[in-house]
């Protein structure tokens, strides 16, 4: 699973330039996810328990419209995924989904969408929103694509939380206007530390965060030192 996670991190890092705004970062995540998952498109919506919700990024205009339909209709995969905190995987919108979502399903089918896969963007008790993946053909995600989609959701949340932490803001949808452009550098640093430790990407991420906290430094500054090889983490370090 760490190999899949690292592959997703590299895909996102390769497509995001330093200085990219949060909005552009999320749009690029959608485009990258759509391409990697052989999908026709993808969309990200921000949702909170206090009722804040809306589309904030999409890979293309059609996906943005289909994503928005769920809020217009008040129903759809992203609504269910947010409520249940679990992925909602609809391999064929034309098979039973019309009775489940009588407003959304026919409208999405009319726009050419045959399958929708919704993944919660969440960490602990905090729910930020949903990543939706759309396909113009019916059929489930493959055994390779499903874990990749889950990691796209996880990595997106991590990048957003990292940027929020650096900006000193709370982890909620209202604070998603922070800059996430240096995410690529952080992903690269995590990959380097993973190799240095000979462990997992999770262990590398935890070690970097612990170091930044102990030294009272920003994650971006620590990541910069790692990438520039001014700082390294070895197995025998505490």
DSSP 3-state helix, strand, coil percentages of the chain (rounded to 5)?
Answer: 55, 15, 35
Quote the pLDDT of residue 192.
Answer: 86
The SS3 call for residue 47 is strand
Could you tell me the domains of the chain?
2-168 (3.30.450.40), 181-227 (1.10.10)
Q: Higher-confidence residue: 35 or 202?
A: 35
Contacts of residue 34, defined as CB under 8 A and 6 or more positions apart, other chains included, come to: 40, 41, 42, 59, 60, 63, 133, 134
Contacts of residue 31, defined as CB under 8 A and 6 or more positions apart, other chains included, come to: 15, 42, 59, 60
Q: What's the pTM value of the predicted model, to 2 decimals?
A: 0.70
Q: Higher-confidence residue: 70 or 209?
A: 70
pLDDT tens digit sequence for 63-105: 988 998 887 777 999 999 999 999 999 999 999 899 999 989 9
């Amino acid at each position: 699973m760490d190999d899949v996670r690292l592959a997703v991190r590299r895909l996102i890092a390769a497509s995001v330039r330093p200085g990219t705004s949060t909005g552009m970062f999320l749009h690029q995540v959608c485009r990258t996810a759509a391409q990697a998952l052989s999908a026709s498109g993808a969309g990200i919506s921000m949702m909170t328990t206090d009722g804040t919700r809306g589309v904030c990024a999409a890979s293309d205009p059609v996906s943005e419209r289909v994503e928005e339909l769920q809020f217009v209709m008040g129903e759809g995969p992203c609504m269910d995924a947010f409520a249940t905190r679990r992925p909602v995987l609809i391999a064929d919108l034309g098979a039973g989904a019309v009775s489940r979502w009588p407003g959304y399903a026919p409208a999405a089918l009319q726009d050419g969408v045959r399958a929708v896969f919704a993944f919660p963007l969440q960490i602990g008790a905090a729910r930020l929103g949903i990543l939706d993946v759309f396909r113009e053909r019916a059929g489930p995600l493959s055994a390779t694509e499903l874990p990749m989609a889950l990691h796209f959701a996880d990595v997106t949340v991590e990048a957003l939380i990292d940027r929020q932490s650096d900006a000193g803001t709370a982890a909620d949808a209202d604070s998603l206007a922070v800059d996430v452009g240096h995410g690529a550098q952080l992903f690269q640093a995590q990959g380097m530390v993973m190799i240095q430790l000979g462990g997992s990407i999770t262990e590398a991420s935890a070690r970097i965060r612990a170091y930044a906290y102990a030294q009272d430094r920003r994650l971006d500054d620590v990541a910069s030192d790692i990438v520039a090889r001014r700082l390294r983490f070895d197995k025998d370090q505490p």
